[in-house]
Structure 1
Amino acid sequence: MESLLRPFDLGPTQWYVLCHLAEEGPTPQSALVHTLRVERATMSGIVAALVRKGYVEQIPDPGDQRRKILRLTAGGEELWERLPDPVDEILAIAFEGVPQEAQDHAIDVLRAATERLTAHHPRK
């Protein structure tokens, strides 16, 4: 993943933030902390880097001026259109030659395990 993103000067977590904003639209920064399961300080650094690069902007939440809403800039949208999808690349390599039925079963097992682990130890 890192080798695919290196030419774009992005790290994996930066890519996930861009992906979320591109697919879901403007999002509170605090929601991304929860969604990506990172610490607030980590997210602050990631967002600061993306803002500095001109890909993301922070706007005040109209309902709560203390909260920040993140959204892609025009430059971020343009970058997103050019970026390769490293997840697709990883999956293609990992599952090459594995029948689709076996892949679907593996995904079901992993999803169920993740749900049980999350329910057992939810993040605050």
Structure 2
Amino acid sequence: MKSNSIESASSTLGKEFRAPYSMGYRIKLLSQLLYRKFSDRLEPFGLTPFHWLVLCCLWQEDGLPTSAIGEKLQQVGGTLTGVLDRMEERGFVRRERDPIDRRICRIWLTDAGLELEHILPQVTADLHAETWVGVPEGDREQFSRSLDRAIANLS
């Protein structure tokens, strides 16, 4: 009798709520696959996906304080400090103290970091195209809006 009630309870929860069918599991899987593919494509440049995000911030506005980059990327200081250390070692960024407030450290792109703006967007565009082969544009837009709504709901 007891096993029937367990089976009955579990059958009322559809497959869509259990891995590997659940939306959360599949989103996580997609995220992992994209991260690996993107990492592989950035590796020849000595970059990681996190480096890419920092570069994107600086391509929009060079000379940002470290704290502003952290806010944009929703990262804590320790994580960002290590990323910036590696980017500086590889010659993509340089740090300078703000002349008005020496407590503020600003991050500036080097020539090598600026040059990547002409190379890396195509790398991401190619991965984007590969990811969405066979998915109509309208479906991609709806998926994006749905993800934004789900994120907002849980934020």
Q: Which has the higher contact order (CA 8 A, sep 6+)?
A: 1
Q: What corresponds to 2:105 in structure 1?
A: 68
Q: Give the structure with the higher percent strand.
A: 1
Q: What corresponds to 1:55 in structure 2?
A: 92
Q: What corresponds to 1:116 in structure 2?
A: 153
Unaligned runs of at least 5 residues, structure 1: 119-124
1:35 and 2:82 matched? no
Q: What corresponds to 1:122 in structure 2?
A: none
Q: Distance in 1 between matches of 2:67 and 2:126?
A: 29
Task: Give structure 1 regions of 4+ aligned residues with deviation exceeding 4 angstroms.
Answer: none
Mapped contact 1:4–1:84 kept (Cα < 8 A): no
Aligned residue pairs: how many? 118
Q: What corresponds to 2:56 in structure 1?
A: 19
Following TM superposition, by how much is the alpha carbon of 1:42 offset from its aligned partner in structure 2, in angstroms?
1.0
Given candidates 74, 82, 102, the residue that maps to 1:45 is 82
Following TM superposition, by how much is the alpha carbon of 1:55 offset from its aligned partner in structure 2, in angstroms?
1.0
Q: What corresponds to 2:44 in structure 1?
A: 7
Q: Deviations over 1:58-86 (max 9, x none)?
A: 12224421011111012211233233544
Secondary structure of the corresponding residue to residue 31 of structure 1: helix
Q: Once the two structures are aligned, what percentage of the paired residues are identical?
A: 31
Q: Give the structure with the higher percent helix.
A: 2
Unaligned runs of at least 5 residues, structure 2: 1-37
Looking at CA atoms only, which structure, 1 or 2, has the larger radius of gyration? 2
Mapped contact 2:97–2:106 kept (Cα < 8 A): yes
